[in-house]
Amino acid sequence: MDVAPGAGNGPKRKQIPAIRRLPLGQFFATMPIPCPYLPGRAERKLIVELGGGGSAEFYDELSRIGFRRSHRFAYRPACRGCASCVPVRIAVERFCHTRSTRRVRNANRDLTARLVAARATPDQFRLFAAYQRSRHGDSDMATMRYGDYRMMVEDTSVRTAIAEFREASGGLVAAALIDLLDDGISAVYSFYDPRHKKRSLGIWSV
């Protein structure tokens, strides 16, 4: 379906003045497929390609209404009769640690974090492959080769980086592919060393 300025009503109108100045693309709904989260449910997504000038600014706006990115496409859930998947945005300035998050923070005090360019490396891929084999061994991602991983990381038309988390020895234990928005950070995909269960690295990388 084509989305033109002025489409929609209610609260969505607040988004239109900013989006109107940007290159609107054509939005499509995917065919229903089995939901990977809820048995017996079907999953559909609303997608739009991020291409050409102004893609980063367009995605900034889309992120505020629940879209995330994969390669050069932005998507959000569009499932009929279901709203279980809820996009979450954390206001960092209002975030307060709980007992469990303090425990995770203390367990990872020895790690250093560094933002690097969105360029795939063999070091990252070894960690990614180990994570997939351990956590998602029956999924398509478990069969990804280095070239597939490189496409996942580098096929982007927006501001993208990788956060690497390393031990004092230099060993890479976690990484997060992220998009840098004008008002925050959007997680694309994170992975970590499955041998370090006590660190809760999935929580720490977030």
Q: What's the total number of domains in the chain?
A: 2
Cα 8 to Cα 3, 12, 27, 140: the distances in Å are 9, 6, 14, 36
Distance CA 185, CA 159 (A): 10
pLDDT at 21: 47
Average pLDDT over the chain, rounded to an integer? 87
Find the domain containing 171 and state its range.
92-205
Q: What is the pTM of this model?
A: 0.81
When pLDDT is averaged across residues 71-95 and rounded to a whole number, the result is: 91
pLDDT at 1: 33
- Which of 24, 52, 77 terminates a domain? The answer is 77
Q: How many CA atoms lie within 13 A of 156 on its CB side?
A: 24
| Sheet with 185-192, side-by-side order of all strands | 112-117, 160-166, 172-180, 185-192
**101 and 57: one domain?**
no
83, part of any domain: no
Q: Tell whether the model's pLDDT for residue 17 goes beyond 50.
A: no
Exposed/middle/buried for residue 67 (C-beta within 10 Å: 0-12, 13-18, 19+): buried
**152 and 107: one domain?**
yes
84, part of any domain: no
Helices 146-154 and 122-135: crossing angle in degrees, nearest 10, is 100
Residue type, 68: R
Q: For residue 188, give the 3-state DSSP assignment.
A: strand
**114 and 180: one domain?**
yes
Q: How many CA atoms lie within 13 A of 171 on its CB side?
A: 9
Distance CA 112, CA 50 (A): 33
**69 and 111: one domain?**
no
pLDDT in tens, 162-195: 999 999 999 999 999 999 999 999 999 999 999 9
Structure tokens at 15: 């988004």
Cβ atoms 114, 163 nearer than 8 A: yes
**159 and 200: one domain?**
yes
pLDDT at 9: 41
pLDDT in tens, 116-171: 999 999 999 999 999 999 888 777 788 899 999 999 999 999 999 999 999 999 99
Cβ atoms 33, 43 nearer than 8 A: yes
What is 102-138 written as a DSSP string? HHHHHHTTT-EEEEEES---HHHHHHHHHHHHHH-TT
- Which of 27, 54, 77 terminates a domain? The answer is 77
- Which of 26, 48, 77 terminates a domain? The answer is 77
